[in-house]
Structure 1
């Protein structure tokens, strides 16, 4: 039994993320020896379908030969170099290609080490822009109910996860919170679009009242992922872009999780036909290989920092591994696959399979809603469907489904009582149906 030895070694030295470590007294840790495609294999040879893309990062499967080859080739040339005062071909080429495929008028790329750091860049850049423009009073940020943008202090401050906000409240700047447009909150018979329009009225009133002191609004376009995979209609983004322009406020689009084909288009903002002032990308950027984030912004914002050194207008932010060549090559190989393999169209076919496979669950007495946006599908478990009454969080129903799924060879890590699928794009229709069967059986078991 190889697993038990690895687990013993792990628990003696490691503190795992997003984990109450005492759980592992009864909940076995799963040590992974290798990955291939959608599969993860432990040290005892048991395999698991990675239904959540290893925290939403993996796009084209584990140990993808084409991405492997690109990273291997780069290793022989340049592993890393400081990006202050120096440059290299992979980061230039990646920036050119990102500017070419993202919404129009995004002209410059600023790199960071991970998703949270990327959001910090956008927040600081927005604030600093207004300071350079002689508007230092614009210091506030607006976020949405149920939002999540990361776990550094700045990103926690613009999130709306109650546990985090309550725990770290004394350390956080105050942000403004607008009601969520997520359609799961709509009245019976009300469409997602109607609800989004109705909820936008609160955002519009907030911007009208406090626009003079607001630097930016930050949103996760179309899907509030860590907030429970809550989804909303793109009309909200269209209206928000118009209002931000009207009240002279930046729009930050956090596409860390929803970018690179997850929602049915390459970037979620495309479905509202908008360009944000800051587009933040990470996770799938490198195909799930290496940590890297990028913030794309406009020439207008870039020019607000472009001046003689003595004006002290330069943007103040840096990371040691900014624009790492290995990560850039992984990202370039990922973009090659998008270009060469008709990925977006194939994803739409897979999304249709996900929809068909879960239709019977829409009438399940303990599933309040099955919701889907492209390659993201969520099933929210409830105690009482008619009353929309959820299970008490203390019962940890999602965890029970997670444990059941592991026994059946699937990684279905829940978000509270929400069971979701966000698989690598190399998954097959048969594997999707298998995951849905496992999820349903797990829900029925508890």
Structure 2
């Protein structure tokens, strides 16, 4: 029996309607930017396997570090114990994060990193004797699939079955160019009530919203407003961290510094699950007390897993090397050149780039822009037939490749984007 057939007998896949979904593609190995199927088919991973894979699949440096760690310590309870990989990774992260970050709290993934930050923010005000029950967030944001993370994300089809159980959130619009003044006014009105504990945001790039970008200046202004009203700022850098926006963190484009930062995805170079929430010393100090009830009561069985931390350290070493930083800038340059050319073509509504992200918004009217659009499935399947993995967000097709991708491989991705544009021209009459 094939791997795909065995899978269909026992597995329930994420974000998948199992009754209508085709058989999953059976991956047997990965190398560099490529995935290899059971039948030998090669697929170029142009989305870094859900934005996680920074340096290429099965990277030997990370594999060697993981192997070495497995011979020494696979796991230990992290309450009352510590180990070298966790301490070294925390030290390394604090050296490159915004300068005000002082402490590292480990968890399991991006959603739990957000949950930790939300609990930190709410309990911070509680510990100060000034409880604040609300969170401020962008209307089209996404922060994860656990209940707190869903609560601060955009409400829609994905969260509809759980609406009655999600906590109340105050939303403001995304400050895209031309809307900055309106959004600042919305934020000022929301913050004036004095009951908002924290503002959580995806800095400069909202991924699942359609790779929507906005400018650092307006985020600085929003953060200054929060500071003036005693509201903490949480930077969700799960997507934007580790070079994705062209700098090590999107927060490095800003003058203001966040009170907390959420990290995952690229944290281990796509090797295995690990989450991190960092915070300023001011936040941390609000939990220090002889009163044990002021403790942050949060933890996971696999908190600071040594193997995951070893993978994170190895990925960080690769990321900070000159070759990787040059690769990031080269991808960004290629994306910018491609976007400038695409914007002049029929069938293209707009293009956006930020660091290693390129998004092409195809001119599809009406329901074609929906995540549930059949045209989106056509885009996905056509790309696969050309040997490229893309996951379009409705009519928005994006590339977010691993940093090891070559010029020839980028050209292959761009060629598929051209073919998708031509499909739109054939399918959708232009006005």
| Aligned counterpart, 1:185 | none
| Aligned counterpart, 2:334 | 353
TM-score using structure 1 length: 0.92
TM-aligned CA distance change 1:105 to 1:216, over 3 Å: same
Whether the 8 Å contact between 1:256 and 1:283 is mirrored in structure 2 is: yes
| Aligned counterpart, 1:6 | 3
| Aligned counterpart, 2:187 | 203
Residue 142, structure 1, aligned to residue 124, structure 2: no
Residue 62, structure 1, aligned to residue 79, structure 2: no
Whether the 8 Å contact between 1:103 and 1:274 is mirrored in structure 2 is: no
Whether the 8 Å contact between 2:259 and 2:280 is mirrored in structure 1 is: yes
Residue 396, structure 1, aligned to residue 383, structure 2: no
Within 5 A, what are the aligned runs for 1:203-352?
A: 203-208=187-192, 210=193, 212-308=194-290, 310-352=291-333
Task: Write the distance in 2 (CA, Å) between the matches of 1:143 and 1:224.
Answer: 12
Whether the 8 Å contact between 2:335 and 2:358 is mirrored in structure 1 is: yes
| Aligned counterpart, 2:401 | 423
Whether the 8 Å contact between 2:90 and 2:104 is mirrored in structure 1 is: yes
SS at match of 1:58: coil
SS at match of 1:107: strand
TM-aligned CA distance change 1:171 to 1:66, over 3 Å: same
| Aligned counterpart, 1:165 | 159
SS at match of 1:290: coil
CA RMSD of aligned residues (A): 1.5
Task: Write the distance in 2 (CA, Å) between the matches of 1:315 and 1:243.
Answer: 27
Deviation string 1:35-62 (CA, Å, 9 cap, x unpaired) is 0000000000000000000000000000
Task: Write the distance in 2 (CA, Å) between the matches of 1:122 and 1:396.
Answer: 37
Q: Shift of the alpha carbon at 1:297?
A: 0.4
TM-aligned CA distance change 1:390 to 1:81, over 3 Å: same
Deviation string 1:144-184 (CA, Å, 9 cap, x unpaired) is 011000000110000014112323101111111101113xx
Task: Write the distance in 1 (CA, Å) between the matches of 2:161 and 2:391.
Answer: 23
Whether the 8 Å contact between 2:206 and 2:212 is mirrored in structure 1 is: yes
Say which is worse superposed, 27-36 or 122-131, in terms of deviation: 27-36
Whether the 8 Å contact between 2:238 and 2:262 is mirrored in structure 1 is: yes
Whether the 8 Å contact between 1:122 and 1:252 is mirrored in structure 2 is: yes
| Aligned counterpart, 2:346 | 365
Structure 2 regions of 5+ residues with no counterpart? none
Whether the 8 Å contact between 2:368 and 2:376 is mirrored in structure 1 is: no
TM-score using structure 2 length: 0.95
Whether the 8 Å contact between 2:368 and 2:394 is mirrored in structure 1 is: no
| Aligned counterpart, 1:85 | 80
Deviation string 1:354-413 (CA, Å, 9 cap, x unpaired) is 2223433213333221111110111122335xxxx6625354222111100111100011
Residue 99, structure 1, aligned to residue 87, structure 2: no
Residue 442, structure 1, aligned to residue 424, structure 2: no
Task: Write the distance in 1 (CA, Å) between the matches of 2:16 and 2:363.
Answer: 24
Whether the 8 Å contact between 2:327 and 2:404 is mirrored in structure 1 is: no
How many residue pairs get aligned? The number is 423
Task: Write the distance in 2 (CA, Å) between the matches of 1:365 and 1:254.
Answer: 35
| Aligned counterpart, 1:124 | 119
Task: Write the distance in 2 (CA, Å) between the matches of 1:334 and 1:302.
Answer: 27
Task: Write the distance in 2 (CA, Å) between the matches of 1:390 and 1:440.
Answer: 22
